[in-house]
Amino acid sequence: MELKEKILTQSETMFLRYGIKSVTMDDIARDLGISKKTLYQYVDNKADLLEQVVRMHVQAEELAIKMICESSKNAIDEMLQIARYVTEVLRTMPATTMYDLQKYYRNIWQLMESLHQGYIYDVIKRNLDNGIQEGLYRAELNADIIAKLYVGKTNCVIDEDMFPLKEYNKENLFKEYFYYHIHGIASAKGLKLLEQYLT
């Protein structure tokens, strides 16, 4: 398993650095100092390798968000920490990587989206329930509907047709989206706390 993890980690690094399209299986084998025959003992082809890298990446994100949820002081603090984490991920992920995934590996992009959607819904739904109990979010909110809207709007933010990478900075887009979400759900008490955290 040690070599398998090394293959996935190094492949992810190369995909992020050079773009998915331009990295070949030869490049990966050469970079790892192994033969292509050895590489193919762990993956069937480039698409299979990419799918495994995506699954590993999503698992790492879920673990990071779980740790944020466990350490946060309240619902607003949790959302701010998640927003900072996502912003950092977007900052370190080149636009070409997302573009290549969407254009050339559509099924893997859709897999990543479906993995994210279920998890994001659970996180946001729980955050909304907690925020309502804490009095930081409006009491009349329907947490199920808002969580589903959040997931749907997340898809809009990363939609290449709606927000082309050449025209919109993903980091700025997500920040606007985050503030839009918080201002739509926060109570007066929640907005006051948000301002305190931001200053």
**What average pLDDT does the segment 184-194 reach?**
97
DSSP E strands: which ranges in 30-93? none
Q: Is 77 exposed, middle or buried (0-12, 13-18, 19+ CB in 10 A)?
A: middle
Classified by CATH at the fold level, domain 2-198 comes out as Tetracycline Repressor; domain 2 (1.10.357)
pLDDT of 97-133, one tens digit each?
Answer: 878 888 899 899 888 888 888 899 999 999 999 999 9
Instruction: Write the CA distances from 90 to 38, 103, 133, 188, integer angstroms.
Output: 33, 18, 31, 30
pTM of the model as a whole: 0.86
The end-to-end CA distance of the chain, in Å, is: 46
CA 2 to chain centre: 25
pLDDT at 94: 80
- Give me the residue label for tokens 């002081």: 73
pLDDT at 90: 80
Domain ranges of the chain: 2-198
pLDDT of 7-56, one tens digit each?
Answer: 999 999 999 988 899 999 999 999 999 999 999 999 999 999 999 999 99
* 1, pLDDT greater than 70: no
pLDDT of 128-173, one tens digit each?
Answer: 999 999 999 999 999 999 999 998 888 788 777 888 878 888 888 8
Gap between the Cα atoms of 20 and 77, Å rounded: 35
Q: Is 185 exposed, middle or buried (0-12, 13-18, 19+ CB in 10 A)?
A: buried
